[in-house]
Amino acid sequence: MSSTKILLPNGTEYEQPIGLFINNEYIGGTGDSFEVIDPSIDKPILSLKGASTADVDTAVSAARKAFDEGPWSEINPKECSKQLFKLAAIIDQNRSLIAAIDAYDLGKPYEAALAGDLDESVNVFEYYAGWADKIDGKSIETSVEKLCYTVQEPLGVCAQIIPWNFPFMMLAWKVAPALACGNVVVLKPAEQTPLSAMFFGKLVQEAGFPPGVVNILPGIGSVTGKALAEHHDVDKIAFTGSTATGRSIMRSAASNLKNITLECGGKSPLIVFEDAELENAVHWAHVGIMDNSGQVCTSTSRIYVQERIYDSFVKAFTAYTERNAHIGGPFEEGVTHGPQVSRVQSDKVVAYMEQATRDGAKAIIGGHRLDRDGYFIEPTVFVNADEKSTIVKEEVFGPVVTISSFNTDADAIAKANDSPYGLAAALFTEKVSRAHRVARRLKAGMVWINSSGDSHYGIPFGGYKSSGIGRELGSYALDAYTQTKAVHVNLAM
């Protein structure tokens, strides 16, 4: 196996695979080279050779053979369930190391990666392991002379492209349901954060999955991702990332009408009504935008506060943010706020903040890049932003929030829905009737009442409008990775 020793900043040394994982083996890539950077100090971790178009062909062929001819095509659901439970247990045994790898690669606080991302990842694999032997069809009565029944069948070769903001957790969200439904996988991790996905191949080997069932291709999106999206022997593509890239993948997938799941961008509103419990609203509004340094697709980056309490909320929110945003490297004690993932992402966030200032918005805290090594951006709060301005309309994907006021419930709903996105929304009120009425009128795939950013492996995740197509998690993900066959039986013979 091609690997290299990496000494993590917390003193842990481990063997990092550095090749492509195809047919249960690590092999050298033949595509473009790229560097993996430690974003907390702006220094290279290592250099990798990515997957070329030819490497994609090799991986897809291995997956196709495993699905059509290999033992995976004949595996019974109970055995599939056992293998997934075994894989979940192996992930659990390695949780500290995987969390450290993601913290190093992404720059997020280690404790957040361990308690949040890895807990979720283990739960997701266990959840779908439990589903693997419970995916069934039904019989449908039509007449005494006919019998009809349905079966849920796997789609086949599933290409999965995951983002950099939650590297291992996003892997779990995609790989676990696909395998539970009997599919095979060709996974492309983000080039910014490929290390934990590459390490995952070792766990797949240890769990005893047959060759070709799971294949992992680090590489450049415009090469590896594009080749997967266009490949005519790929049956499904599941993507999480920007809306612009999602549109590009959708166009490529149209060449052979691939089944698609797209989880794309967001510009989620958070509404605070005058009867809300202020301290609770402030806490969750902070979590909703500053978690993961603002690098979350569901970030509630537009806050709307009813006029009567607007000044009080702004004062309390800024004070809370200044008090609770502890900036530093991923392994520093007490850190809650890490760097942006890359220089490119950091520059984009800075450009958005500069444009907001030119457009007349005022940064009452933050608004700058920190003068230190790494890609650190100050937690930033803008007020006086025009509702048509770039900072209000476009996804920044950083620790930047706008706070505006509203008058009536209708005003709040109109402002919240005035967006091309519809991934999530949050609202804060003590009135039960208002909470449910407003939740029904918000054009979003997920609505949080008196909290923000909640996610659970049993609850569907996905959005409206330009935020994507389809749902992940829960039983809803089973629909995304199966197709229904109807069998008609003539009994009148």
- For the annotated catalytic residues, the residue numbers are 263
Instruction: Report the distance separating Cα 293 and Cα 366, nearest Å.
Output: 13
At a CB cut-off of 8 Å and minimum separation 6, what does 55 contact?
20, 22, 29, 30, 31, 217, 219, 224
3-state class (DSSP) for residue 454: coil
**462 DSSP assignment:** -
DSSP string covering 310-348, please? HHHHHHHHHHHHHHH--B--TTSTT--B---SSHHHHHH
For 35-63, b where at least 16 C-beta lie within 10 A, e where not — what string?
ebbbbbeeeebeebbbbbbebbebbbbbb
Instruction: Report the distance separating Cα 131 and Cα 458, nearest Å.
Output: 11
Q: Is-contact 240 170, C-beta < 8 A?
A: yes
DSSP string covering 5-59, please? EEE-TTS-EEEEE-SEEETTEEE---S-EEEEEETTTTEEEEEEE---HHHHHHH
Instruction: Report the distance separating Cα 438 and Cα 429, nearest Å.
Output: 10
**CB-based burial label for 22 (10 Å; 0-12, 13-18, 19+):** buried
Task: Report angle CA 272, 273, 279 to the nearest 5 degrees.
Answer: 60
User: Among candidates 291, 232, 305, which has minimal Cα distance to 60?
Assistant: 232
**293 DSSP assignment:** G
Q: Is-contact 12 100, C-beta < 8 A?
A: yes
